[in-house]
Amino acid sequence: MKKGQVYEATVERVDFPNKGIAGVGEDTVIVKNSLPGQKVKFQVNKVRKGKAEGRLLEVLEKSPLETGSPCSHFGVCGGCTYISLPYKEQLRIKEEQVKGLLDGVLGRQEDTWLWEGIKGSPAAYEYRNKMEFSFGDEVKDGPLSLGMHKRGSFYDVVTVEDCQIVDADYRLILKAVRDYFAELGTSYYHRIRHTGYLRHLLVRKAVRTGEILVALVTTSQWENGDGATANGGSACCEEAVEVSAEDDLKGNACHEMEQVCRAGCNGRAEYEVLQGFLSTLLELENNGRLQGRFAGILHIVNDSQADVVQSDCTQVLYGQEFFYEELLGLRFKISTFSFFQTNSYGAEVLYETVREYVGSLGQTDSAADRVVYDLYSGTGTIAQLMAPVAEKVIGVEIVEEAVEAARKNAADNGLDNCEFLAGDVLKVLDEISEKPDLIILDPPRDGIHPKALPKIIRYGVEHIIYISCKPTSLVRDLETFLACGYRVERAAAVDQFPWTANVETVVLLSHRN
């Protein structure tokens, strides 16, 4: 198989996360974003050590498994992989992927382990409670778009007005905001030139309370991408802005000139555009078009060259910087950048699985005396679920605003045995005096830091529960756990992300005595 050559083949299976495996003669090639049973045309773009990778050019024949997509953007948008398949078929593929990866490492484990299959999401559509939409254009110098990156492209953005993994409120907000800025001719941030104004639109919505948080993320470059701000280069204007009663929508938008300046608002022109953005959103609610209601509408300035949603400074245009969600009888305050599972319905399935694993360990007399570590704790969801069966739960999370939210959440839920510490797990473990009896891990996609893993293992706790959103990272870490005397007792997959290539896995580890 030669690099640059074009071939045709039928995809035999899909390995995690989206690696279609096809055969050409005696050779095997990976064709990403293909589905089992599809006949595809691809161009080989990498050949190394007998392994080839190809770029998908065209689907020549659909898979017999495909039944059609309810989304008009499927195949163009890079968000969903399996939405043309029946949901049960997608679950089967993900289960096989996770089980195959676990078998690869646990085949060397002497003891048997229980595989519990995959648990589906209670909602297959309109399940996401957070979206980060990008501003850009779909074709070079085309009209303003707002949505998701085109599949295989870092620059092109598709306006996903028909997206099926979010509810109607997201679609209304997306369209209203895009239309507003398109009519104004506002520039978007060019990732190559590092000039322009509009960057992202962050939308979060609680499925239980219906509260919505929206954040418009821009640079401080107000003047249509020429690299200068409206007042000649300063991120904070010196021009006085008179805020009239008419401007002060619902009584709490941009109360004082100082707030506008601190948020990087470059004089009257940008201020009026932000007020128009605010009015556009509030009209959706006031006209009864939204199912939910706005808890907060924000303007965030981000001048980082990296394509990430972060804040140099934040201005509250309306309401507050947080909203509330409810899970399993508990109430959670979620701020702009707090980690929270993106599928609230699926999160309940995931956390019920964790709770059941803990319950399977037995309610001994010492259970109420145990100290539980919840590492990578986010807004403290798992910690609070563990509070009733522990003397103390200690959560560690690197995002400080998530830690503050976790403390507030625990207080609001009447839990006084939860302690939340801000910092990197690698460093904070050296500062905790109480030793754990049970450790729960829910690390980011790349898994546990290689230097933190030995520290966790040295505690020698009898049981560890590992929650993973990337099974390849999980099996890498399991290699180390197994080498240090742990064994896997049981495991299950949970589909938190229907139609995408992602899946959660929960594993119960026990230490060999």
Enzyme catalytic residues = 469
d(CA 188, CA 260): 21
The per-type count for the chain, helices as H runs and strands as E runs, is 10, 22
* Diameter of the chain measured on Cα atoms: 75
Neighbours of 301 (CB within 10 A): 22
Neighbours of 226 (CB within 10 A): 11
Q: What does DSSP assign to residue 453?
A: H
Whether 336 and 481 have beta carbons less than 8 Å apart is answered as no
d(CA 332, CA 168): 23
The end-to-end CA distance of the chain, in Å, is 51
Locate tokens 């240090």: which residue? 484
CA angle 145, 72, 291 (to 5 degrees): 75
d(CA 347, CA 382): 10
For residue 337, give Cα distances in angstroms to 122, 128, 274, 320.
25, 16, 21, 13
Helix/strand/coil percentages in the chain, nearest 5: 25, 30, 40
Residue 178 corresponds to which amino acid?
A: R
**Residue among 332, 303, 315 nearest 204 (CA):** 332
Whether 378 and 402 have beta carbons less than 8 Å apart is answered as yes
CA angle 305, 308, 311 (to 5 degrees): 85
d(CA 100, CA 419): 38
Give the three-class secondary structure for 343. strand
Whether 116 and 124 have beta carbons less than 8 Å apart is answered as no
